[in-house]
Structure 1
Amino acid sequence: MNTPRRTELLAAGAATVTVVLWASAFVSIRSAGTAYSPGALALGRLLAGALTLGVICLVRREGWPPRAAWRGIAVSGVLWFGFYMVALNWGEQEVDAGTAALVVNIGPLLIALLGARFLGDRLPPRLLAGMAVSFAGAVTVGLSMSGGGGSSLLGVVLCLLAAVGYAGGVVAQKPALGRASALQVTTFGCLVGAVVCLPFAGQLVHQAADAPVPATLNMVYLGVFPTALAFTTWAYALARTTAGRMGATTYAVPALVVLMSWLALGEVPGALTLAGGALCLAGVAVSRSRRRPRAATAEDTPEPRPEQTSRSA
């Protein structure tokens, strides 16, 4: 297998790991969120993730990232690891799950637009078409899950801000991955996010003392797998493709959340929810597909001019 093809398959595999683990995070957040406030949950998750990543870095002797990578690491750490997690945790307490999924899923669209503006990424027609199909699927899933009440303007605004923080963090992280390894960028971005969330340390200590064991275990799970592992595999894949294509891949998350909620929580999805999930997956397939080169035909070969024929003779 040639190297470019192998690299593409490894990146696709890493993206798949990320999407599956991020989908599982929504199920765990529902459990941990009953015992922990948004800021405390974000800080506990980031501390568990930073500890796991720090041990891996020490074993692999990764060292400190180059100075040129720190700007992207710091911005992504503040926007994505810190601000996004707190805003999303808070927003999901103010709106129903369907509304949250609908609003947060403008993130991939923002990533594509910001990537084109600041990173010079191309916006091929297949990417745009796939994102449109996936967004329609996310809207369908959101509408099918909405209606349970409890939504508020504050919650919608928080979810919108979370989507903006997510998109800004991804676009800031992309240049840093050209100067440092995926593990370095993820580890130190997680540390920056943890520092941003330190004001919630008092809440975390107080709530951990009274929280049930399953809620705390879910918080630790969020730090080790959807954060430490999934953010690293995300960075690995992002370093090998455009921000827009990676953002489009995350549209598979709503479909997987529906499936995991069905299997783990016994929440049987309706026909409209299943249709929306199918649209999400179809859009991801379209956005990640590539146009096959057209085979050369006889019509593509120019007729030799008379003087060319005489010379060859």
Structure 2
Amino acid sequence: MADDTNKGLTLALIGTLVILPDTVLMRLSGLGPAQMVAWRGLLQAAMLIGLWLVLSRRKGPELSGSLTVTGLLAIALQATNAGLFATGIALAPVAVVLFAVATTPLVSAVLGALFLGDRLQPTTLAAAVLVLLGIGVSVSGEYGGTGSAWIGALCGGLVSVALAGSFTIYRARPDLSVMLTVGSGAAISGAVGLSLAPSMFQTDGYLPAIWVTGLVILPVSFTTFGMASRYTVAANVSLVLLLETVLGPIAVWAVVGEPVGPRGLVGGAVVVVTLAVYLWDQRRRALRRRPQVSPVAG
């Protein structure tokens, strides 16, 4: 069990290190919201659906499952996630978007209680209040004209709800293909972005940067996080992923000079510390519930 946990943590760490440059590359691309949604969605869709076609051994049942009500809802939620995250990064401070997206574990706990009969613990509600307070403080900060913090909080919050909703569906319907539904959602968001983008190649930055995010970062991180969740509890993966919430804004500041400001730092610290404590508690509870294997006498 210890070996599996270490393997899961290693995979989660690899996924986090891979996804860390994502927001930096999005900034360096210099693209507008529709362009960014289009490039990321279409490239991610091509990679994931291509991998599904090559790797899946149950194409018929998985395709049928994706066309059910829950399958289509999962696809719609993934399209929302893909579209709003890119929009938020294009229009708002990176830090605020990442702080808001980091609330996904809390939203997942609430949705699990509402739809799957999970027990909603008092610690979840307390953590939610503190996290909302932290996001409120971060939104009130100064970010040097890098966009509207309120738009960032709104987009990040909706991404959190979309992600949590899709995770809840995958728990209820383990037969659904995550690769196919995520790829299909990305294709939808990409198609919408393409229809709204004035030009796919006009940019104030470096266009190939967005190609790296769509072709490499998103598929690799998606795969490693999915593999990590097979070896260790979800709280462990979420704890490691918090590194992106901490290091992402620092990386953007270091590379493109986007400031965070004192209130942003304080609000972000409240969010990260609260989530770290909450996820650590969830990890402890999950590991305690795991069946212990008795040693065989020899």
- The two structures have a TM-score, normalised by structure 1, of 0.68
Which residue of the partner structure matches residue 43 of structure 1?
A: 38
Q: Is the 1:88–1:158 contact (alpha carbons within 8 Å) kept by the matching residues of 2?
A: yes
Q: Output the CA distance in 1 between the equivalents of 2:90 and 2:126.
A: 33
Which residue of the partner structure matches residue 199 of structure 2?
A: 207
Give the % identical residues. 22
Q: Output the CA distance in 2 between the equivalents of 1:99 and 1:194.
A: 26
14, 18, 39: which one aligns with 2:15? 18
Displacement after TM superposition at 1:94 (Å):
4.5
Alpha-carbon RMSD across the aligned residues, in angstroms, is: 4.0
- Does 2:284 match 1:290? yes
Q: Output the CA distance in 2 between the equivalents of 1:156 and 1:282.
A: 18
Displacement after TM superposition at 1:255 (Å):
0.4
SS of equivalent to 1:53: helix
Q: Output the CA distance in 1 between the equivalents of 2:49 and 2:202.
A: 28
Q: Is the 1:23–1:256 contact (alpha carbons within 8 Å) kept by the matching residues of 2?
A: yes
Q: Residues 84-119 of structure 1: CA distance to partner in whole angstroms, max 9, x if unpaired? A: 222233344554445444544443321221123323
Displacement after TM superposition at 1:74 (Å):
3.4
Q: Is the 2:131–2:271 contact (alpha carbons within 8 Å) kept by the matching residues of 1?
A: yes
Q: Output the CA distance in 2 between the equivalents of 1:73 and 1:145.
A: 41
Q: Output the CA distance in 1 between the equivalents of 2:155 and 2:219.
A: 24
Which residue of the partner structure matches residue 221 of structure 1?
A: 212
Q: Output the CA distance in 1 between the equivalents of 2:240 and 2:71.
A: 22
**Mapping 1:47-62, distance limit 5 Å:** 47-60=42-55, 62=57
| Letter matched to residue 117 of structure 1 | L
Q: Output the CA distance in 2 between the equivalents of 1:52 and 1:5.
A: 33
Displacement after TM superposition at 1:150 (Å):
4.8
In structure 1, list runs of 5 or more residues that go unmatched. 294-313
Displacement after TM superposition at 1:158 (Å):
4.1
Displacement after TM superposition at 1:42 (Å):
1.9
- Does 2:148 match 1:151? yes
Distance change in 2, residues 1:170/1:290 (3 Å): same
Q: Output the CA distance in 1 between the equivalents of 2:179 and 2:194.
A: 22
Distance change in 2, residues 1:93/1:192 (3 Å): closer
Displacement after TM superposition at 1:28 (Å):
2.0
Distance change in 2, residues 1:240/1:17 (3 Å): same
Q: Is the 1:76–1:172 contact (alpha carbons within 8 Å) kept by the matching residues of 2?
A: yes
71, 76, 86: which one aligns with 1:78? 76
- Does 2:81 match 1:89? no
179, 186, 189: which one aligns with 1:193? 186
Distance change in 2, residues 1:282/1:150 (3 Å): closer
- The two structures have a TM-score, normalised by structure 2, of 0.70
| Letter matched to residue 255 of structure 1 | V
In structure 2, list runs of 5 or more residues that go unmatched. 289-298
Q: Is the 1:74–1:189 contact (alpha carbons within 8 Å) kept by the matching residues of 2?
A: no
Q: Is the 1:93–1:155 contact (alpha carbons within 8 Å) kept by the matching residues of 2?
A: no
Q: Residues 51-78 of structure 1: CA distance to partner in whole angstroms, max 9, x if unpaired? A: 2234444554545273475355533322
Answer with 1 or 2: which has the greater Rg: 1
Q: Is the 1:98–1:145 contact (alpha carbons within 8 Å) kept by the matching residues of 2?
A: no
**Mapping 1:242-257, distance limit 5 Å:** 250-257=241-248
Displacement after TM superposition at 1:168 (Å):
1.5
Which residue of the partner structure matches residue 235 of structure 1?
A: 226
Q: Is the 1:111–1:171 contact (alpha carbons within 8 Å) kept by the matching residues of 2?
A: yes
| Letter matched to residue 198 of structure 1 | A
Q: Is the 1:136–1:276 contact (alpha carbons within 8 Å) kept by the matching residues of 2?
A: yes
Which residue of the partner structure matches residue 107 of structure 1?
A: 104
